[in-house]
Amino acid sequence: MRYVRRAMSDPTSTLDASLAEIDARFAAEFAACSDEQALRAAHAKILGRSGALTAALKEMGKLPADARKAAGQRVNALKQKVEAAFEERLQAIARAARDAELNATPFDLTLPGRVPAPRGHLHPISLVREDIFEVFKGLGFAVAHGPQVELEDYNFTKLGFPPDHPAMDMHDTFWVSPPPQAPDARVLLRTHTSNVQVREMLTNKPPLAVVSVGPCYRCDEDMTHTPMFHQMEGFMVDEHVSMAHLKGVLTAFVERLFGKRQVRFRPSYFPFVEPGVEVDMGCTFCDGAGCRVCKGTGFVEILGAGMIHPVVFEHCGIDPERYTGFAFGTGIERPAMLKYGIPDLRLMFENDVRFLAQF
């Protein structure tokens, strides 16, 4: 008994007993781990901060100096053995996982999902654009598109804007650097869709009935203006086109887009028409009774229009003695707001799905 007790308290044999115990069980413990997480936990129990082998290592300090070197070698040998077994088991686990994946029943990507994917839809501005096209296609108009980066000539000059017109100021119009091939070109982001009139009249000859919708740009930003906005433009040119056609087409347009409501025409001015008119319709918010939106008047302004100025015809190579025509234009956001009862212009551009999902 005494002998044994002495032997048990001998630091070298205590250390060796611990090493023997670790050595006896680590292989089985690693083999029992079937995933990486379990294996790492088993490894930590031996070589982690409070692991068995780490504890044994701390015991080394208690050994007599002459025994330390040999004991250190035994500890290190076991440590290497454990590490090697760990790495080997780690790789085996990874290999098994990969094999399981390869041998699994293949996943059919083409199967339909259990939850149907939510479907998006057109933005309210696009919805109104499509509505506008439908109405005008029904009236026999063709759809055309014009560039958003435009020459000053097509955006202003050919439409009869005098060279000192305030719309051309830097603070109203986004001017663009000319391309290197044409350093003297005066280029801008179109301020309205009326450039489509010029482009269509330069390339096609009457009879013409065309409508266009697209983005425009002005250096404007406040509660009711954004630097990018949308406009529609339309015009009709033929022999004997008169103001009566203008009134008939625009009244039909308002009725088809908004339902039957009052339409009124007021004299106005735009450089490219003579005479020019402003078109108002009965307010959709109060049905003409008078509210905040129509400022108590019962009417909201929805279009600018007029008989195409002879100067525009001349600039586009169309004989103003023979042909007459009318043109009209408006923003898209305003009619969209009126049609859907949207109170704030900025909602249109924030792209918040809670707003968009309501259409």
Q: For binding to ligand DAH (CB under 6 A), which residues are involved?
A: 192, 194, 233, 270, 273, 304-306, 327-329
Shortest Å distance, C-beta 342 to ligand DAH: 21
* C-beta of 18 vs 330, nearer to ligand DAH: 330
In the bound state, the residue with its beta carbon closest to ligand DAH is: 329
* C-beta of 128 vs 273, nearer to ligand DAH: 273
- Bridge-based pairing of strands 149-151 and 263-268 is unpaired
**Alpha-carbon distance values, 255 to 61, 203, 259, 339 (Å):** 98, 32, 4, 12
* C-beta of 61 vs 166, nearer to ligand DAH: 166
Residue of 255, 262, 250, 252 whose CA lies nearest to 305: 250
Contact 305, 277 (CB under 8 A): yes
Residue of 320, 319, 207 whose CA lies nearest to 273: 320
Q: Cα–Cα distance between 236 and 214 in angstroms, integer?
A: 19
Q: Please name the amino acid found at residue 164.
A: D
* C-beta of 47 vs 232, nearer to ligand DAH: 232
Shortest Å distance, C-beta 194 to ligand DAH: 4
**Alpha-carbon distance values, 300 to 14, 23, 87, 286, 293 (Å):** 98, 91, 78, 11, 8
* C-beta of 282 vs 329, nearer to ligand DAH: 329
Shortest Å distance, C-beta 211 to ligand DAH: 11
Contact 230, 332 (CB under 8 A): yes
Shortest Å distance, C-beta 247 to ligand DAH: 13
Q: Cα–Cα distance between 238 and 324 in angstroms, integer?
A: 6
Contact 45, 26 (CB under 8 A): no
Shortest Å distance, C-beta 308 to ligand DAH: 7
* C-beta of 12 vs 195, nearer to ligand DAH: 195
Shortest Å distance, C-beta 355 to ligand DAH: 26
Q: Cα–Cα distance between 106 and 260 in angstroms, integer?
A: 60
* C-beta of 269 vs 340, nearer to ligand DAH: 269
Q: Which of helix, strand or coil describes residue 271?
A: coil
In total, the chain counts a number of residues equal to 359
Shortest Å distance, C-beta 346 to ligand DAH: 20
